[in-house]
């Protein structure tokens, strides 16, 4: 069902582990030329290019790109009660979790009349992308919109691909989720063209944004890479991944279920178990063989778990498991051991961490209160998931009075002279001369 990588008896360096970790062969650069052409098309032809791309890639030509307010209100009214209740609970929980990510302003006093204020300023306008391919993701609406609102962003635009099965409209559940959050600027557009529209704007349709967030396919990821620098982005999201660190106390059925839960996203999704228990490894293999044929998306799951990106990794001990996980930098890390909290100090790199038998990744996907837009493909080694801080910019406000500046006058002049930038010192000295 799933390959085994046996690292027992080997002490590998971080560089060697990086070479061994299983990865899909997804290469964003292969989509760069196509994404660039689609972005250029939108910049040149505007709304007509968006409509043509929808017809080409989504198999339907929307009647209009911007969703009308009546459609949003209707989608909210038509939400199934159980779905609406779950979305409202998710909104409340993610709002509470995101609020903890907004730092308070602080003042550093460096002497009488000398202070530096640290403030956090939200960007004014953002573009949030919600994919619409193999699944419907109203949860991604929540995960993108709520942190932006908590950060204080005033203008929020949302895009999702038009759906052929809904006559060119966005999926009504996505519209309903956006309506619950009072988002009224929504566009039926997808793929690289939508990212280009967000970054550069479309005359007569939408204004450009400062930050673009949200997951998507390889073309969306390539487009985000291309517009970075003109607009900020969260990350170049790739196929989802889960890494489970488990010892002999873990329940094989739960480990297998969690691997399957992420494998159903995509054939390129990665499921990795790292364990120091050969017995657990064998029992998880048995559970996978039993459970995969029973799951709804069994073919997709089978391809994912038998792919090169998925594996059961055998290690000597939990310290080695932590080393492997840190080299991998998983999007989702589950720790199912006798004492999950004891492992936390050794975990350095992960998008989100789920402790214990009753904190599955699925909880984080919907209702944990954490955000499910997370770095993939090893990017957790150097970046974080989406949060209120994604939409905030730290700014330092410097305020010195005359006496405070005079106390450091000579030092500024000395350093400016050492750097052969005497005009820097002159700008200070000028404040203490009459001419």
Indicate which residues carry an active-site annotation.
Answer: 331-332
Question: What is the greatest pairwise CA distance in the chain?
Answer: 87
Question: How far is it, in rounded angstroms, from Cα 296 to Cα 289?
Answer: 14
- Please state whether beta strands 241-246 and 270-275 pair in parallel, antiparallel, or not at all (unpaired): parallel
The alpha carbon torsion through 91, 92, 94, 95 (nearest 10 deg) reads 110
Can you read off the two tokens belonging to residue 308? 């090169």
The set of residues, in sequence order, having a beta carbon less than 8 Å from that of 13 and lying 6+ positions away, is none
74: alpha, beta or left, given left = phi > 0 and alpha = psi -120 to 50?
alpha
DSSP for residue 67: P
Residue (of 259, 295, 323) closest to 3 by Cα position: 259
Residue (of 300, 351, 349) closest to 324 by Cα position: 349
Q: Are 243 and 272 in contact (CB under 8 A)?
A: yes
Cα separation of the two ends of the chain? 83
Give the start-end residues of each E strand in 196-239: 211-213, 232-233
Angle at 240 between CA 62 and CA 181, to 5 degrees: 50
Question: How far is it, in rounded angstroms, from Cα 283 to Cα 46?
Answer: 56
Count Cβ atoms below 10 Å from residue 32 Cβ, excluding itself.
18
Question: How far is it, in rounded angstroms, from Cα 435 to Cα 418?
Answer: 25
Q: Are 42 and 202 in contact (CB under 8 A)?
A: yes
Residue (of 234, 148, 226, 231) closest to 191 by Cα position: 226
């Amino acid at each position: 069902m799933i390959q085994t990588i046996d690292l027992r008896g080997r002490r590998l360096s971080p560089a060697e582990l990086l070479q061994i970790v299983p990865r899909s062969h997804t290469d964003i650069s292969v989509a760069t030329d196509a994404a660039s052409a689609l972005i250029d098309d939108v910049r040149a032809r505007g709304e007509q290019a968006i409509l043509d791309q929808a017809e080409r890639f989504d198999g339907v030509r929307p009647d209009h790109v911007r969703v009308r307010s009546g459609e949003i209100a209707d989608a909210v009214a038509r939400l199934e009660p159980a779905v609406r209740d779950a979305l409202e609970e998710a909104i409340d929980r993610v709002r509470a979790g995101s609020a903890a990510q907004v730092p308070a302003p602080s003042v550093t006093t460096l002497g009488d009349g000398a202070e530096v204020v640290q403030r956090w300023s939200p960007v004014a306008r953002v573009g949030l992308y919600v994919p619409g391919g193999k699944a419907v993701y109203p949860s991604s609406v929540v995960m993108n919109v709520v942190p932006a609102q908590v950060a204080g962003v005033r203008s929020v635009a949302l895009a999702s691909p038009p759906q052929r099965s809904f006559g060119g409209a966005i999926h009504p559940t996505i519209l309903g989720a956006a309506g619950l959050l009072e988002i009224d600027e929504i566009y039926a557009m997808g793929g690289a063209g939508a990212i280009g529209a967000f970054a550069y704007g479309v005359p007569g349709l939408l204004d450009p944004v400062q930050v673009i967030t949200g997951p998507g396919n390889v073309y969306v990821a390539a487009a985000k890479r291309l517009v970075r620098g003109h607009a900020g982005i969260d990350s170049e999201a790739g196929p989802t991944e889960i890494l489970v660190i488990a010892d002999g106390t873990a329940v094989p059925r739960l480990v297998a279920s969690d691997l399957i839960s992420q494998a159903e996203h995509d054939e390129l999704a990665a499921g990795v178990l790292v364990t120091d228990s050969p017995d657990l490894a064998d029992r998880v293999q048995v559970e996978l063989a039993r459970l995969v044929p029973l799951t709804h998306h069994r073919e997709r799951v089978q391809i994912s778990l038998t792919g090169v990106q998925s594996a059961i990794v055998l290690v000597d001990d939990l310290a080695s498991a932590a080393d492997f996980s840190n080299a991998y930098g998983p999007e989702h890390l589950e720790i199912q051991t006798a004492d999950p909290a004891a492992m936390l100090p050794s975990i350095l790199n992960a998008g989100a961490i789920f402790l214990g038998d009753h904190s599955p990744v699925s909880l984080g996907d919907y209702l944990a209160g954490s955000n499910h837009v997370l770095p993939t493909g090893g990017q957790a080694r150097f970046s974080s998931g989406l949060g209120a801080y994604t939409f905030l910019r730290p700014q330092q406000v410097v305020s010195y009075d005359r006496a405070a500046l005079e106390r450091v006058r000579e030092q500024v002049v000395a350093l400016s002279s050492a750097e052969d930038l005497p005009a820097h010192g002159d700008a200070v000295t000028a404040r203490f001369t009459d001419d």
